[in-house]
Structure 1
Amino acid sequence: MSQTPFLRHAAKPVRLTSLAVIAGTLALTGCVPPAPEPTPAPTPAPTVARPEAAPVRIPTPSFDNWMDYPATPGDWSYVAEPGQTMAVFGTDRSPEGIALIMACDLATRRVSIGRKGNAAGQVDMTVRTETRDQVLTAGPVQSRAPLLVAQLAASDPLLDAIAFSKGRFALEVTGTDTIYVPAYPEITRVVEDCRDQG
């Protein structure tokens, strides 16, 4: 029986040189040092909580004279209604936007000064002008917005002091922020409306 070429090749004796090569390879693999242990991950340094920076405080400017305070935002507008005229100061004509109303009751010839705010009863209303300061008594009045109102006769000299105050006047009402408003012509017009009725 004849052998196929494959079997003939497989049946060849293993030579010593082949064994020597295999033995040498095994010997070399034994000389390779073992893989090093993996280095442990470095331990992170403990984090120290840093204190948060304190917010920068901007000092509130102080003024020696009330006339140096910044003006309250807003503008005046003149309103004529049946029985009264008004000068309205604020950022807009909404109840939230109105800060101050000066109104003339044409029938009684009295001028009302109304500052937006609430109070349970009467409070002091201090008006500061270039030439005079005067404390009035104001009481709560419910209208479209709650107001604290003081009334003056149309002939009261305080109204002239307000109208002709150098650039502005201040209004301080207990329980509200002081406002610094320009002395614009709308105020004079309301006062004149009341005086012209006499």
Structure 2
Amino acid sequence: MKAVYFHAAGAIALTFGIAACIPSVDIPSQVETTVPVAADPAPTPAPARTQAPAPAPAPTAEPPRSASAPPPTTAAAVQQPVYDNYLDAPPTPGTWTYADETGETLALFGTSAASPSLIIRCDKASGNVGIARVIDTPATSARVMRIETETAERSIQATPMQGARPMLAAILFAGDPLLDAMAITKGRFAVETQGLPSLYVPAWVEVSRVIEDCR
């Protein structure tokens, strides 16, 4: 089986006025004067017409949808069930497979060993144990991975890894007590990773075997 490696890779801008004055004139008394008849006042100009605003267009009716056409959809985040106790969650379908490769041993969980969803790996050279979630699209930043067991639970950082399969992996020292809790937990343990479906996997002997390979 081709070895699965974890390689660290390295997540917004007037107004104005006018006035006029007319001087008065004295009229001599001997001169007969005729009082001019005031001219008819000029007709008041009619107010300028203003163009009425164009009426708003009537809303266009949505054409009737065919009975066979699917209803419109909106993007929504997938919500996972929340359990007070992870043991109440249904187990994730799949089995564990053990593999002994050059420099490493692997416990692979999934519906097939060729397409695992979870990998526990012992790096014999460093003595470290990796817990990795296989993902479909390469991640660009670290995410929180939470491990829950019967006796212990902890949130750890899962870092993007590049390789034949993109994955998010957390690295633990082989003596970390969280690994012991995973090996001896009652029934199964949970692996919850930010943005991915939670896994509820059985604590089979393959898990313990990989941990012991690094001790």
Alpha-carbon offset, residue 143 of structure 1: 2.4
Between structure 1 and structure 2, the one with the greater Rg is 1
Aligned mate of 1:158, from 163, 178, 192 = 178
2:132 paired residue number: 114
2:123 paired residue number: 105
Q: Take 2:151 and 2:112, find their aligned partners in 1: how far apart are those partners?
A: 29
SS where residue 98 of structure 1 aligns? coil
2:204 paired residue number: 184
Gaps of 5+ in 2: 1-79
Percent identity over paired residues: 47
Alpha-carbon offset, residue 148 of structure 1: 0.3
| TM superposition score normalised by structure 1 | 0.65
Higher RCO structure (Cα 8 Å, ≥6 apart): 2
* Contact 1:98–1:116, Cα closer than 8 Å, also in 2: yes
1:128-167 aligned at under 5 Å gives the runs 128-167=148-187
Q: Take 1:102 and 1:143, find their aligned partners in 2: how far apart are those partners?
A: 16
Q: Take 2:176 and 2:209, find their aligned partners in 1: how far apart are those partners?
A: 15
SS where residue 101 of structure 1 aligns? strand
Q: Does 1:84 align with 2:104?
A: yes
Letter in 2 for 1:78: Y
Deviations 1:84-129 (A, max 9, x none): 00100000122xx311000000000000000112421111110000
* Contact 2:139–2:166, Cα closer than 8 Å, also in 1: no
Corresponding residue pairs, total: 134
Deviations 1:35-80 (A, max 9, x none): xxxxxxxxxxxxxxxxxxxxxxxxx976431111111010001000
| TM superposition score normalised by structure 2 | 0.60
Q: Take 1:73 and 1:83, find their aligned partners in 2: how far apart are those partners?
A: 29
1:28 paired residue number: none
Gaps of 5+ in 1: 1-59
Deviations 1:20-47 (A, max 9, x none): xxxxxxxxxxxxxxxxxxxxxxxxxxxx
1:67 paired residue number: 87
Choose between structure 1 and 2: higher helix proportion.
1
1:123 paired residue number: 143
Q: Take 2:179 and 2:92, find their aligned partners in 1: how far apart are those partners?
A: 20
Q: Take 1:62 and 1:105, find their aligned partners in 2: how far apart are those partners?
A: 34
Gap change, CA 1:141 and 1:61, over 3 Å in 2: closer
1:50-61 aligned at under 5 Å gives the runs none
Letter in 1 for 2:128: R
* Contact 1:119–1:175, Cα closer than 8 Å, also in 2: no
* Contact 2:98–2:106, Cα closer than 8 Å, also in 1: yes
Q: Take 1:185 and 1:93, find their aligned partners in 2: how far apart are those partners?
A: 16
Q: Take 1:75 and 1:114, find their aligned partners in 2: how far apart are those partners?
A: 16
